Structure 1
């Protein structure tokens, strides 16, 4: 599972509902999407809940997963210091904002961990025509850690960062930091769920895993996701088909 679903408190809120209904206990290993997929390929886990659709589709195509289902979505936001040295506040174009940050050599904190958020961020830099590898260690700082730790680093150095909105809302250390760019349709963030293929890894608890997928994509699970709020805001929006 991704760190965003764990950091935000979503899984702590909804998993007891699944356990009460099914009697199945779920153990969550919260790592970034890239690491979660690697773990699953190694047979460490029964179900993937992640957010990087191309990587998920490849995982299934390569035979590691049985089938991918949409579960829910939220969105990414660009956060940064309220002083906004790059002057991006209020914009709706994430690519233009990144170009402005690079032009100003304003500090940017990247997860640098191959997570779904990191993959999305790199895609936006590419669209912006910015070579962040060349800037690494300068204005572009890679934390190599999860979303919460990266937000702490950004707050500590007055840096910009890309985050999923749920982790931002649940993040405690917002002093002097704010959402500066939001609402670009490219910031849409879809989550998917996949059963790890038991024919590749006989240790996979396929029946329990499928029961969880049926629940989270079914009426009860979707209602549980919709009902999860923080500070009066809904964080994830169910859209299983």
Structure 2
């Protein structure tokens, strides 16, 4: 082999090595890209909010987010175990408790919408009105077909508060009336069960607006001030859970309560209807 051929072969080998090096570098860069776990509710996921919101956050920060959508109680338990970096949930009593325990740093209000009572348009129990407690009393008296989330979610916690105010205790193991059924499922599946069985169900408005399989379900109770549904966001405490991605998680908290994040929340609409209303500054 002459000198020219040897030089050509050497250059080709160098180029090949350079391409391999670039490919490995790109792969490592992707593998090392910052990412956080946000434990949140099924309502924020199934309403379509996160698929809308997270690309905006990624564009602003370069941080990827993996959402684990479960009931609020389960999400908070993830925070207690250190299995998430951020909690984005809607049960203020439980949120304040996890902060007091030291598992989360600080709770920030971030947005709100409201709960609604959904049921068959014929409304055999006569629940329609603007008073959720009176409506539930009628459902209990009529032994109505009621679908409960039964999953320790924020919606389930609110439902149980309303039953208690109505004077009807409904633990899943011993419901006060025969047709009270706890599905142990998310908001979307609970609505599907109600739609297929002609049942009543307490829902968050965001998931309802994005829900397609309504059958003859309609909103029967809305507008009661007790149906207010506040969401909060919290960083899992890195002092108690050192594995927490505290820097990236704090960036998510800061962004979602910032003017940019709040504007993104306000901008999410379905058929012209706003699903969530930002209130981090109030």
Q: Distance in 2 between matches of 1:76 and 1:51?
A: 11
Could you tell me how far apart the structure 2 residues matched to 1:38 and 1:131 are? 25
**SS of residue in 2 equivalent to 1:132:** coil
1:145 aligns with 2:185: yes
Q: Residue deviations 1:96-149, cap 9 Å, x none?
A: 000000111111000001000000000000000012234368210000000000
Is 2:105 aligned against 1:56?
no
Query: Partners of 1:135 and 1:60 in 2: how far apart?
Result: 32
Q: 2:61 and 2:223 mapped to 1: Cα distance?
A: 38
How do 1:151-166 residues align onto structure 2 when only pairs under 5 Å count? 151-166=191-206
- SS of residue paired to 2:68: coil
SS of corresponding position for 2:233: strand
Larger RCO: 1 or 2 (CA < 8 Å, sep 6+)? 1
1:106 aligns with 2:136: no
Contact 1:46 1:195 in 2 (8 A): yes
Q: Which residue of the partner structure matches residue 243 of structure 2?
A: 203
1:184 corresponds to:
224
Q: Give the CA RMSD over aligned residues.
A: 0.9
Asked whether the 8 Å contact 2:143–2:177 carries over to 1, the reply is: no
Q: Deviations over 1:138-174 (max 9, x none)?
A: 2100000000000001111111000000001111111
Residues 52 and 268, structure 2, Cα contact 8 Å, conserved in 1: yes
Confirm or deny: 8 A CA contact 1:136 1:142 kept in the other structure.
Answer: no
Q: Which residue of 1 aligns with 2:56?
A: 17
Give 3-state SS (helix, strand or coil) of 2:168's partner.
coil
Task: From 122, 125, 128, give the equivalent of 2:166.
Answer: 128
- Aligned partner of 2:265 in structure 1 is 225
Aligned residue for 2:152, secondary structure, equals coil
- 2: CA distance between counterparts of 1:235 and 1:126? 28
The answer to whether the 8 Å contact 2:168/2:176 transfers is no
Report whether the alignment pairs 1:47 with 2:89.
no
Residue number in structure 2 paired with 1:240: 280
> In structure 2, the residue corresponding to 1:121 is in which secondary structure?
helix
Q: How many aligned positions are there?
A: 240
8 Å contact from structure 1 (residues 37, 48) kept in 2: yes
Whole-angstrom distance in 2 between the partners of 1:168 and 1:106: 21
Residue by residue over 1:195-234, the C-alpha shift from the partner in whole angstroms, topping out at 9 and shown as x without a partner, is 0000111110000000011100000000000000011100
Which residue of structure 1 lines up, in the alignment, with residue 154 of structure 2?
Answer: 116
Structure 2, unmatched stretches of 5+, are 1-39
Q: Confirm or deny: 8 A CA contact 2:205 2:275 kept in the other structure.
A: yes
2-structure distance, mates of 1:152, 1:137: 21
TM-score (norm 1): 0.98
Listed as ranges, the gaps of 5+ residues in structure 1 are: none
